[in-house]
Amino acid sequence: MKAAYLVFLLVWCSLALAFDEAAEREATRLLTEYQEEAQKQYNKVSLVSWAYHTNITEHNKKIMEEASLAITEFQKEWYNKVKNYLDSDLSPETSRVMKMAFPVQLDQADAKNLTSILATMSTIYSTATVCLTPRKCVNLDPDLASIMASSRDHEKLNLIWEKWRTNVSRKIRPHYLQYMELVNKKARLNGYNDYGDELRMKYETKTFEEDVSKLYKELDPLYRLIHSYIRKKLRLVYPQIESRGLLPASVLGDMWGRFWTNIYPLVTPYPEKPDLDVTEAMKAQNYTVTRMFGMGEEFFTSMGLKALGESFWTLSMLERPKDGRSVTCHPTAWDFMDGRDYRIKMCAEINFDDLATIHHELGHIQYDMQYAHQPFTYRDGANDGFHEAIGELMSLSMSTPSHLVKVGLLEDATEDRELTINYLLRMALQSVTALPFHLVNDLWRWRAFRGEYLVQDYNTHYWKLKEQYLGVKAPVNRSSEDLDPPAIFHIANNYDMIRYFTRTILQFQFLEKLCEAAGHEGFLHTCDFYGSKKAGDLLG
């Protein structure tokens, strides 16, 4: 993919011939004016969106929808102001920024519909509960997540898996179908074939779909080896799993079978070695959520990277509020576009997984702070995969046995071969096994947006892909009323997932270069670049 990207840039630069200088000057002037105003507008909409996600009420939802419509209007006004320049002979750079900044907007009725649909799907997802008994209905975070992570009762896991989908994705389904129509419509207004085409073009290469499938072909043999190892181990716990069969999606450690780290205790190659999930050590040392974030920040500053500002600590939502209000717990990092205000929204708990997630989210914030001096339109990752890779890279380094020893969460055992094997497997459960998961979620969406499937067969095709690529099946029968893809945050909330596929590739490429800069010798998996100013400079 990297190569394809380079080729694209070369072709594009060689086209930089003559352009209309008067148009270029005027377009540049308008862009500058737009960027200043846009920054203020997007700051406003982010603030009300934050207010909603940290306090879900009808009132806050309405205000968020209004602000979102105001942005559509703002963008439309600007589109009309600049539209004569969009097709002028501008320099390639100005032309690219103009196209990024001024997409064609839906008309008012459609825009209103889409805004309301997005808010509704988000609310259904974030407020859903599953009733364990008629009187005890619990949220995903922390209760359901914790059961999916630690229960080994197949029936119970299946039941919760099914109820979540009955109460979330089945309810989202009618809205999702309308959403698909509207985002496709908007994509076509902008010259794309469909919404999947638009999402893929964020990577600025027409061969993106082929590129990722080629990449996956290279990685598939490794996935298959890990899959059969995991299946053999899981059969000891769940005898129902057939020796050459598919894995039920409910027994993989979370609500979706996305990250498998929670089943690490069941599949540890050398279980007698010290536990690399250092949750117990964190609890014994009275870790707090604030301390976990402090550790994360210190990882960045040890490399000479930027520290968090005062307002991060006062304005972020780091834990689930104790006053009973509904919030969106799914961890997200926020850039309020004013160069000062950066926040994280998360319902962190004291455990090792969340410590890794904190490093991940802080990676987004670090990236946001690093590009704060750029013009508004450029304040984003080179692509979404880059953005996702940064924090994941920090989590990798942080969770190496040598780093855990350094911070006093593991006894000294860094040179041990068996512990190393344990570590590598655990790392694979966070990265390698998630590759086909993320790929399939977007393969399905790309094909659905393209109109390759009949609506009534959507869910059947989804499970066909899961079986084919992941060797994972639905643990209970599905009906024509089900639409399982939006049972996960990203799909219900209009985020692509291929970014987590590309980031996994990028993250190891970044790791290699940072470790080289840090003067690391030996295997890559033993590298901890904590404290390396040279690695920090390079990453910055």
Stretch that binds Zn ion, among 55-63, 175-183, 215-223, 382-390 (CB under 5 A): 382-390
User: Binding to ligand NAG by residue 130, rule CB under 6 A?
Assistant: yes
Q: Which does 116 bind (CB under 5 to 8 A by kind): ligand NAG, Zn ion, none?
A: none
467 binds ligand NAG per the rule CB under 6 A = no
In whole angstroms, how close is the CB of 118 to ligand NAG at the nearest point? 12
Q: Which is nearer to ligand NAG, 167 or 279 (CB)?
A: 167
Residue 200's φ and ψ, nearest 5 degrees, are: -65, -30
Residue 85: name the closest of 96, 95, 73, 74 by CA.
Answer: 95
Comparing CA positions, the residue from 269, 247, 507 lying closest to residue 394 is 507
Catalytic one of 53, 438, 490, 520:
490
505 binds, among Zn ion, ligand NAG, none (CB under 5 to 8 A by kind): none
Taking the CB of residue 7, how many other CB atoms lie within 10 A of it? 12
Residue 285, binding choice from ligand NAG, Zn ion, none, Cβ under 5 to 8 Å by partner class: ligand NAG
> Which residue in 330, 361, 387, 438 is the catalytic one?
361
What's the closest the beta carbon of residue 357 comes to Zn ion, in angstroms? 9
Q: Is 179 annotated as a binding residue?
A: no
Is 138 in contact with 130 (CB distance < 8 Å)?
Answer: yes
Binding marks (x or -) toward ligand NAG, 243..282, rule CB under 6 A? ----------------------------------------
| d(C-alpha 162, C-alpha 484), whole Å | 10
The answer to whether the CB of 365 falls within 8 A of the CB of 308 is yes
Residue 137 near ligand NAG by CB under 6 A: yes
Contact between 34 and 114 (Cβ < 8 Å)? no
Stretch that binds ligand NAG, among 55-63, 217-225, 350-358, 517-525 (CB under 6 A): 55-63
Could you tell me which stretch among 14-22, 178-186, 200-208, 347-355 binds ligand NAG (CB under 6 A)?
178-186
Q: How far is the CB of 134 from ligand NAG (least distance, A)?
A: 9
Which stretch, 367-375, 384-392, 412-420, 528-536, contacts Zn ion (CB under 5 A)?
A: 384-392
Please give the angle made by the CA atoms of 489, 493 and 496, to the nearest 5 degrees.
Answer: 85
DSSP secondary-structure letter at 476?
Answer: S
CB 8, min distance to ligand NAG, A:
34
Cβ neighbours for 502, distance < 8 A, ≥ 6 positions apart: 1, 203, 212, 383, 384, 385, 388, 389
Identify the helix (H) or strand (E) that includes residue 506. helix 498-517
Binding site partner of 131, from Zn ion, ligand NAG, none, Cβ cut-off 5-8 A by kind: ligand NAG
Nearer to ligand NAG, 128 or 470 (CB): 128
Alpha carbons 91 and 85: distance in angstroms, whole number? 11
The nearer residue to ligand NAG, 206 or 325, going by C-beta atoms, is: 325
Burial category of 437 from C-beta neighbours within 10 Å (exposed 0-12, middle 13-18, buried 19 and up): buried
Residues of this chain, 209-268, that bind Zn ion according to CB under 5 A? none
Q: Does 53 count as an annotated binding residue?
A: no
Q: Smallest gap, in angstroms, from Cβ of residue 488 to ligand NAG?
A: 17
**What element of type H or E holds 33?**
helix 21-53
* Shortest Å distance, C-beta 176 to ligand NAG: 11
Cα–Cα dist 276/411, whole Å? 10
Nearest to 311 by CA among 369, 229, 367, 371: 369
The candidate with the shortest Cα–Cα distance to 293, out of 246, 214, 341, 350, is 350
Binding ligand NAG by CB under 6 A: which of 44, 76, 96, 163?
Answer: 163
* C-alpha to C-alpha distance for 443 and 339, rounded to whole angstroms: 36
For residue 173, say whether it is annotated as part of any ligand binding site.
no
- 219: closest CA among 513, 526, 469, 499? 469
Identify residues 70-89 at the interface with ligand NAG (CB under 6 A).
none
From CA 229, how far away is CA 251, in angstroms rounded?
A: 15
Among 81, 214, 325, 464, binds ligand NAG (CB under 6 A): 325
Give the helix/strand (H/E) hosting 130.
Answer: strand 130-133
Give kind and range of the element (H or E) at residue 334: strand 332-335
Q: Does 233 bind ligand NAG (CB under 6 A)?
A: no
Stretches 79-87, 122-130, 350-358, 368-376: which one binds ligand NAG (CB under 6 A)?
Answer: 122-130
Are 385 and 499 spatial neighbours (Cβ–Cβ below 8 Å)? yes
Closer to ligand NAG at the Cβ: 55 or 377? 55
Q: Is 388 annotated as a binding residue?
A: yes
Q: Is 364 annotated as a binding residue?
A: yes
**Is residue 361 annotated as a catalytic residue, yes or no?**
yes
Binding-site residue set: 203, 360, 364, 388, 499
Q: Which residues bind Zn ion (CB under 5 A)?
A: 388
Q: Which residues bind ligand NAG (CB under 6 A)?
A: 55, 57, 59-60, 113, 127-131, 137, 163, 167, 178, 181-182, 285-286, 325, 477
The set of catalytic residues is: 361, 490
